Structure 1
Amino acid sequence: MMLFNLFTRSHTAAIARERLQLTIAHARIEMDRSRLIDTLRDEVVAVIAKHVVIDLDKVQIRVARREGVQSLDLGIELPAGFNRKTAA
């Protein structure tokens, strides 16, 4: 009797539903993380751009993950002897 219970559709459907819910939750987390990284990048660049002339094409962002820790590296190329913006 137990052998037949292993192959019932309801058991398989429940497992498939659970896997789908996990996949959707993971996708939502990744989308939120991506939006957060974009927001952080934009805000940091805006603050620096208030004081220094920067080329937005020269801004690089990297996210590193290791041993449960994430780091956000933001690289902004400044011109040699970078120009400080003057108050208008």
Structure 2
Amino acid sequence: MSFLSFLLGEKKKSASVAKERLQIILAHERSGRGVRADYLPDLQKDLVAVISKYVQISPDDIKVSLEKQDNLEVLEVKIELPDGVK
């Protein structure tokens, strides 16, 4: 990290910002009244909105689910991108 970027701060990439927001949402939901998946439709809409800025997709191209496996909660996000997108 250069001295100038330290003073001015670095612009975070959208992927890292999205990851941080998702971690905050999950931490908030876990601290609440147990496992609640009522935020998943809103999360899916937000993901579609963000990804649509860069790639043309439809809401059906993203699937979000929450599963409980033993003592773990697993948030699964499946995103189907059009051919030719890297």
Per the normalisation by structure 2, the TM-score is: 0.49
The normalised TM-score by structure 1 is 0.49
